[in-house]
A and B are shown apart, each in its own frame.
Chain A
Amino acid sequence: MTTRRRLLAGLAATALAPRLGWAGAGSPAWLAAARDGGGAYRLFGLSGRGAAVFSLPLPARGHAAAAHPKRPEAVAFARRPGTFALVLDCAGARVSAELTAPPGRHFYGHGAFSADGTRLYTTENDTAAASGVIGIWDAARGYARIGELDSGGIGPHEILRLPGAETLVVANGGIETHPDTGRAKLNLPTMRPNLTYLAPDGRVLDVVELPPELRLNSIRHLAARPDGLVAAAMQWQGEAAEAPPLLLLHRRGDPPRLATAPFAAQLAMQGYAGSVAFSGDGRRVAITSPRGGQAHLFDAETGAFVAAHAAPDICGVAPASGGFLATTGTGRLLPLGGAGPTADHPVAWDNHLVALA
């Protein structure tokens, strides 16, 4: 009895219970894209112990994946500025649909599902207007394109749906790029990143901007806690020696807060945070810097710096039991600040680790 109650409480707390729908795909706890030893790109499902339970080929380097809330289905996005995304049936190990960005649009590499799983939202660039767009796809009908919203800024990168709500939160990185010039940054003198909260009908509910002296801090990646607290990771376009804060914490209705480590530790991040996650228990938040080979952990309530961890080319990070699981470009899975699997795979893990929660 007590064992069962503890088990249930534990599952609820870590929010890592594999949903029934995903059982057919080996009940993975996380998804991550990687380059394998032969140089080919694949999407992996990882078990709670860090073992690969499935892997599916990708046509090119991936970036992030969005997991369907009900079906064992993942949408794998091409690396920016890609124009394709694949819907993978992780149980049947096949591509079940293919998304092609409409003419004049390209993907930024992230997407999110509506709570019922009938809509997929994707961050996109309207290349002619150089403005951010959220594409809407009908996940119930073969992922037909059914509309788009204004993202509320330039260069929308990650999009999330707030847990238990339909509200979307978008990291508008603020950097203008054009597919003709790859990733060349075209508007650094004028960039203004923001965090925009959108209703599913496109109404702008809230916009959070950084103070003017931090306008070169591109807001890129997001994590959300079940109570609506949002963590955003930033990438500084100015001098890395300024060691600006790279983590923003925000809850709607409250002023945003910036979190930073002591100066020397902050310098080691090289002005770049690549991923962000809340811990499995929601008490801490982690950002990673592959350039600095560092992960920083903060208290999610106070924003106080808790600890730094060093690991070469660390980038992916996601909630795990009591703490975090991180991935590196050298193939390692490693726990941060909690229990969790340590494992080495003969692959280079790509930027993001996605928890199926």
Chain B
Amino acid sequence: MRHLIAAALIALPLAAPAQESVIDRAVTGHILPGYARAAAEARELAAAAQAECAPESEALRAAWHDAFDAWLGVAHLQFGPALEGNRLFAMGFWPDPRGAGPRALARLIGAADPVGRDPAAYAEVSAAARGFHALETMLFDPRAETIGTAEYRCALVRTMTADMATTVQAIRDGWTGGHAEALRTAGAEDNALYPTEADALRTLFGAAATGLEFNADARLGRPLGTPDRPRPERAEARLSERSLRNVAFSVEAIGDLALILAEPAGPEVEGDVRAQLDRIETLVARADDPALQGVADPQSRLRVEAIRSRIDELRGTLAQDVAPALGVAAGFNALDGD
């Protein structure tokens, strides 16, 4: 998987001067290429749905997987244009403990609501019925095929994928149309979004730290539950069996950002971060439990717990070693956040 990121980096100008700042590298080496790829893959998905809209279409499912992989490259960037207009939730509505997504879809399909045929109007429906998780229900949940007509469901899949492509593109446009520049010029006199460089670094660091926390506590923690009460039914994207793949792609992307942020802390800390990322990748590859359904089995549960511990360990390195070097170390209370 790492070669995908490497390819994205090579596509950028390599003549970066030694003086290039951490913020510049995060913007040009991580954020912008990440959104470019996410937007391109989302367009591919919409095109695939135009060609074949049946849920069992291998081409459509493959395009959905590719687009989801690419989205996980930026899903941790929970600031800036992604937060406008609820776009972040419209792309990834999870966790959904009450099943709001399937219910909203059942309502639309059952009523053959015309909004399901109108990509522009679809932006106004509940975020629960939009994005990757709602589309997973359409493509992988056998119950979805028992409601309404195949013709309406087909139209809905095309509408949803078009809406997703528009949404990711809108986030990307927000970045290229001003937010990237605002981040890069943090500390400039009239920069209201990032009045100091520390504001920009804190935002980037927060994205990495919060993203890792989400992988550890939500993506792994929700299905792990407690040893007495494992909750395999809570695994993200278990119907498509990509629960662990989501952790893999997300942590890899966050790791890419973390390595950029770790540079001021020196080669030793950078080496620690890299080694911890490699260990997580190895553990994920060995887990052999794509939908995290083994959490109820003591042996495979241990493997999932080990991944979570390693992610927590990486979080510790970021907080203790990376943040102070960036000048964004959080205090006793600032870190507690309650």
Contact = CB atoms under 8 A, between A and B. Distances in A.
B331 A290 contact: yes
Contacts of B86: 189
Given A79-B338, A313-B333, A181 B93 contact: no
Contacts of B95: 186
Contact of B192 (A267, A291, A293, A349): A267
B12 interface: no
Q: Give the interface centre of A182, A189, A220 by most chain B CB atoms within 10 Å.
A: A189
Given A180-B224, A188-B89, A348-B332, A130 B195 contact: no
A337 interface: no
Nearest to A173: B338
Q: Give the interface centre of B83, B192, B193, B336 by most chain A CB atoms within 10 Å.
A: B336
A239 B337 contact: no
Interface string A175-197: 01010111110101110000000
Nearest to A130: B97
A285 to B, nearest CB: 19
B214 A290 contact: no
B65 interface: no
B80 interface: yes
B173 interface: no
A264 B195 contact: yes
Interface residues of A, number: 44
A329 B218 contact: no
Given A189-B89, A351-B336, A329 B192 contact: no
Contacts, number: 95
A238 interface: yes
B254 to A, nearest CB: 16
B221 A180 contact: yes
Contact of A290 (B79, B224, B333): B333
Interface string A291-322: 10100000000000000000011110000000
B83 A239 contact: yes
Contact of A189 (B93, B195, B221, B225): B93
B127 to A, nearest CB: 5
A108 to B, nearest CB: 9
B231 interface: yes
Q: Give the interface centre of B95, B203, B334 by most chain A CB atoms within 10 Å.
A: B334
A272 B330 CA distance: 14
B214 A180 contact: no
B231 A180 contact: yes
A180 B79 contact: no
A351 B333 contact: yes
B226 interface: yes
Contact of B330 (A180, A188, A291, A349): A291
A176 B96 CA distance: 11
B217 interface: yes
Interface string B75-117: 0000110011010010001010100100000000000000000
A188 B221 CA distance: 18
Interface in B173-199: 192-195
B213 A274 contact: no
Interface string B216-233: 011001101110000100
Contacts of B334: 290-291, 293, 313, 329
Contacts of B93: 189
A124 B225 CA distance: 20
A96 interface: no
B251 interface: no
A79 B336 contact: yes
Contacts of A188: 89
B127 A189 contact: yes
B126 to A, nearest CB: 8
Contact of A263 (B84, B192, B194, B217): B192
Given A263-B192, A290-B331, A184 B217 contact: yes
Contact of A181 (B80, B192, B217, B338): B217
Interface in A321-351: 328-330, 348-351
Given A238-B83, A263-B192, A290-B331, A184 B221 contact: yes
B330 A184 contact: no
Given A189-B128, A239-B84, A290-B331, 6 more contacts: A80-B338, A183-B217, A188-B89, A290-B332, A293-B334, A351-B333
5 contacts: A180-B221, A180-B222, A184-B221, A186-B95, A350-B336
